[in-house]
Each structure stands twice: as structure tokens, then as C-alpha cells.
């Protein structure tokens, strides 16, 4: 069995769960918004790219929300998309640094270790808004990062928004755009 990047197959249990390690944060020089997912799915970990599953609406949504960077955010080149985010003042990371999971669903996450989101916010004081991409991200934020982050930064704006994941199929891209645009007050 071939090992995939960011995945330790030695920890597999009888249900197929493996120990997974997330991706490094993507942060530009002076980010204004931090978008936090929960934990990258299998496609993202295999590609070592945020939101790599072709059915995830994250990149199309970013292209709609930040039209001045649409060309970069719509590019097939991952580094171009990241540059589009940086130019839009957006940083990316996840609330979970490592966990056990079989498959890609957040509901399968066990034995997780949170990322030091409060530390990231402390080292990047230009971030004024944290967006929690989906309910699992919001739950982990509340349990592991919220208290410390808000003690340090009481002015921080925190938004729990609907997930861009293909598992959240009840919302169309247009619905996500409307909700995210209104919450972020962009465009």
C-alpha cells in the first residue's frame, strides 16, 4: 500500500481510520480574514492542497466574493489560487491539526488535536474576521480556540458560515455566495 502525503497509514484501526496531519497555514503579509475549515479531506491531503476535491465550492465561491482576483482564484494552478487569496487579504487554515478519520467526513473525526489558532491570530494582528467554514470547524473553535483568542482579541469578528463541502449539498453555490457575501460584507 502506497503512503499518501500527510497521512500515516500505520495507525489504521479495524474501521479503516488513519492518523492524519493537516496542512500548514496559508498567510500573506497582512491578512484581514482567516477562513478556518475543520480538517482537509482525503483529496486535499493527497494533493497537499486546501479544498482540492473537485466538487468543493470553496474556490468558485472565493472567485465570486473577490471579483478583482477572479482570474487567479479560478486558475487551475493551486499557487495562483493561493496568491489570489493573499491579494484579497484572506488566510487559510484548519481548526484541527491532526486526527483519526476513516474517509473524508467530519462526522468520522476522532482523537483530534487542535491547531494553535489563537497563536496564529496573535502573530497576525491584522486579522479582524475569522470565518468558520462549516459546523465542525465552529464546534472545534468554540471548544479549543475561542476563549484564548477572544481574551487576546476581544474585537475579533467571528462568523460561523455554511460549509463549502460537497457533503453540504443542500445549498447551491448561489446560496453560499449570498450567505457568505452578506456575512463578510464584501462586493
Closest CA to 63 of 26, 94, 90, 32: 90
- In the set 56, 111, 115, 133, the catalytic residue is 56
Q: Is residue 171 classed as helix, strand or coil in its secondary structure?
A: coil
Cell of 14: 479495524
φ/ψ bin of 169: left (φ > 0), alpha (ψ from -120 to 50), beta (otherwise)? alpha
Give the phi and the psi of residue 33 in degrees, each rounded to 5: -125, 135
Torsion from C-alpha of 117, 165, 23, 91, nearest 10 degrees: -50
56 among known catalytic residues:
yes
- Bridge-based pairing state of the strands 18-21 and 96-101: antiparallel
Would you name the residues annotated as active-site residues? 56
Amino acid at each position: 500500500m502506497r503512503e499518501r502525503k500527510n497521512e500515516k497509514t500505520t495507525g489504521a484501526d479495524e474501521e479503516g481510520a488513519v492518523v492524519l496531519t493537516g496542512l500548514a497555514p496559508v498567510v500573506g503579509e497582512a491578512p484581514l480574514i482567516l477562513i478556518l475549515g475543520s480538517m482537509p479531506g482525503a483529496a486535499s491531503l493527497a494533493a497537499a492542497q486546501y479544498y482540492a476535491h473537485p466538487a468543493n465550492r470553496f474556490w468558485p465561491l472565493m472567485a465570486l466574493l473577490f471579483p478583482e482576483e477572479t482570474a487567479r482564484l479560478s486558475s487551475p494552478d493551486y499557487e495562483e489560487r493561493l496568491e489570489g487569496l493573499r491579494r484579497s487579504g484572506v488566510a487559510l487554515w484548519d481548526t484541527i491539526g491532526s486526527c483519526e478519520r476513516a474517509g473524508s467526513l467530519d462526522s468520522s473525526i476522532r482523537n483530534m488535536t487542535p491547531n494553535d489558532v489563537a497563536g496564529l491570530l496573535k502573530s497576525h494582528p491584522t486579522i479582524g474576521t475569522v470565518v468558520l467554514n462549516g459546523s465542525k470547524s465552529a464546534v472545534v473553535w468554540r471548544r479549543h480556540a475561542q476563549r484564548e483568542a477572544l481574551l487576546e482579541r476581544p474585537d475579533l469578528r467571528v462568523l460561523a458560515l455554511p460549509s463549502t463541502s460537497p457533503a453540504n449539498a443542500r445549498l447551491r453555490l448561489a446560496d453560499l455566495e449570498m450567505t457568505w457575501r452578506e456575512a463578510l460584507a464584501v462586493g
